[in-house]
Amino acid sequence: MPRTKLQGVFVYCKCGNEMCGDGSFVSDDYDKFGNNHVIYKCKKCGLESDYNFDIAPVPISWKDIRNKDF
């Protein structure tokens, strides 16, 4: 599935680095439950982040999803 909808999306690391524009993107996959996992590894601080781009118009961190207990 082409990710054209990602154009114009900004993903910010905890350190403030914008990861869409600097090549921090790692992978865009689905797990066995059909959940979207878009992985970014920050070029500046090395922190790896796992996002879901499917459930909202903006990327939601899986950490936040799990904390909200959907």
Choices 26-34, 36-44, 48-56, 58-66; region in contact with Zn ion by CB under 5 A: 36-44
Does 17 help bind Zn ion (rule: CB under 5 A)? yes
13 binds Zn ion (CB under 5 A): yes
- Regarding 61 and contact with Zn ion (CB under 5 A), the answer is no
- Whole-number Å distance between alpha carbons of 37 and 46: 18
Residue from 5, 44, 63, 66 binding Zn ion (CB under 5 A): 44
Q: For residue 64, what are the CA distances in angstroms to 2, 3, 18, 32?
A: 25, 22, 18, 20
Q: Retrieve residue 3's tokens.
A: 């990710």
Nearer to Zn ion among residue 45 and residue 55 (C-beta): 45
**Does 45 sit near Zn ion (CB under 5 A)?**
yes
